[in-house]
Amino acid sequence: MKTKNLTKEEFLKNVADFENSPNEWKFLGVRPAIIDFYATWCGPCKMLAPVLEEIAEEYADKIDVYKVNVDEEEELSALFGIRSVPTLLFIPMEGSPQMAQGALPKTTLRNAVRQVLLNE
């Protein structure tokens, strides 16, 4: 599996330390990232999962793809105002993260990776 599950502790270390810097977004990652906020009971989330695995494999050395289970990590879900799943958070190395909702097609995801994360 190329995607990685994120707990709050891992989020604080690998993405952003919102506890010590609550008013400032400072990305801590070494590569741009996608975070998939999902639920195990969500049909569209299940459809999106293999597509994200393919994206993670295709861009393995260029981006990180994380997954956050909204039922297990309620604080992270609340922090980003997640109201529906799946919700994807695209995090470039510089600038603000961007959100997208729904099970996006692979071509749309690939375009977002190139344009938002890799500036291609």
78 is catalytic: no
Q: How far is CA 29 from the centre of its chain?
A: 12
Rg (CA), the chain: 13
> What pLDDT score was predicted for residue 120?
83
116 band by pLDDT with thresholds 50, 70 and 90 = very high
From 6, 16, 45, 68, active-site residue? 45
Domain ranges of the chain: 4-17+28-117
Q: How many residues are recorded in the chain? A: 120
Q: Residue 114 carries which DSSP code?
A: I
List pLDDT tens digits, range 52-87: 999 999 999 999 999 999 999 999 999 999 999 999
The sign of the dihedral angle between the CA atoms of 85, 112, 1, 51 is positive
Check if 45 is active-site. yes
* Residues 32/87, Cβ–Cβ less than 8 Å: no
Catalytic residue among 6, 15, 33, 42: 42
Tell me the torsion sign for CA atoms 111, 30, 2, 24: negative
The two structure tokens encoding residue 19:
């506890």
State pTM to two decimals. Answer: 0.94
Sign of CA dihedral 98, 101, 103, 105: negative
Superfamily per CATH, domain 4-17+28-117: Glutaredoxin (3.40.30.10)
Checking if the pLDDT of 22 tops 70, the result is yes
